[in-house]
Amino acid sequence: MKWDNLRIFLAIARSGQILGAARKLGLDQATASRRLSALESDLGATLFERHTTGVVVTPAGERLLPIAERMESEAMAAQSIVGQSDVALSGTVRIGAPDGFGNFFLAPLLAEMAQTHPELRIQLVPMPRNFSLSKREADIAITLERPTEGRLFARKLTDYTLGLYASQTYVGHVGGIGSLADLSRCLFVTYVQDLIWSPHLDYSEPYASQCAQVLECAGIVGQMQALATCGVGFVHDYTAHTVPGLVRVLPEISLKLSYWIVTHADVRGLRRVTEVMDFISKRAREARADFERE
């Protein structure tokens, strides 16, 4: 039984299809399918039910999955401990993060770290969604809540605040925004309600219902670009300065949320992962005053 075939098994189990796994591993579909068949032959068991839309893990595959994941973890640990990574920080680390934190805080931060460690390949995925660490969608995830299930390690990065913002031009256009009643003349910019990926982001009520019209945008970056033109909406206080002309309205209204940094137990011991986590945590602590507006 070859380890390479187990790697293909893991990739297929995580992607739910042979083609997607093959692409991720840099193989053609025929090769991936042939190696999977070889593994099934070695084990004397069918690991997936094949359908036109993808594959489903069989009971035998479910029993193999945790064993293969442990083997993968040991292989990664060997590479980290015995390989060149004990001389220079190297390898790939993928970080999944909310688009606001990823674009406005992490992107410049990780560019700095990449310059310091030329052999380290950092992949930042700043998207408004949750990332599955067990499926290896990312090595590190930034979340809005502490996970309560799975073999995950989490620590709090920082609290952060949000306030209501609008462009100075728009405030003048609607005749000022000095009370909640003034929202009745405004366009409210917020998330697409049925695409909200965390319950912590469901904060548009009761403000949206008081506005004349609502514009829904799936990501905070898009919301901020819309607010640069017109409308009122919640913006992270630490990002508001990036949009020229954006001003705080109704300053008595403030929300507080939290960021957590999370990794899977299987990769927590990898030096490249722990050093990236420590670097992000340290810089978040240093910027804590920027994240929270009194």
Per-residue pLDDT of 202-235, as tens digits, reads 999 889 999 999 999 999 999 999 999 999 999 9
CATH of 161-256, one of 3.40.50.1000, 3.40.50.300, 3.40.190.120, 1.20.120.140: 3.40.190.120
In this predicted structure, what is the pLDDT of residue 86? 46
pLDDT below 70 — which residues of the chain? Answer: 77, 79-89, 294
Cβ atoms of 158 and 288 closer than 8 Å: yes
Structural element, H or E, at residue 6: helix 3-15
CATH tag, 3-72: 1.10.10.10
Can you tell me which residue has the tokens 């009370």?
A: 179
In this predicted structure, what is the pLDDT of residue 15? 85
Partners of 189 in the β-ladder: 215
Q: What is the DSSP letter of 106?
A: I
In this predicted structure, what is the pLDDT of residue 165? 97
In this predicted structure, what is the pLDDT of residue 80? 61
In this predicted structure, what is the pLDDT of residue 290? 92
Find out if CATH 3.40.190.10 is the number for domain 85-158+258-291: yes
pTM higher than the cut 0.95:
no
Asked if 85-158+258-291 and 161-256 have one fold, the answer is yes
> Cα 152 from chain centroid?
15
In this predicted structure, what is the pLDDT of residue 74? 75
What does the buried/exposed string (b/e) look like for 78-115 if buried means 16 or more CB atoms within 10 Å of the residue's CB? Answer: ebbeeeebeeebbbebbbbbbbbbbbbbbeebbeebee
For the chain, the structural domain boundaries read 3-72, 85-158+258-291, 161-256
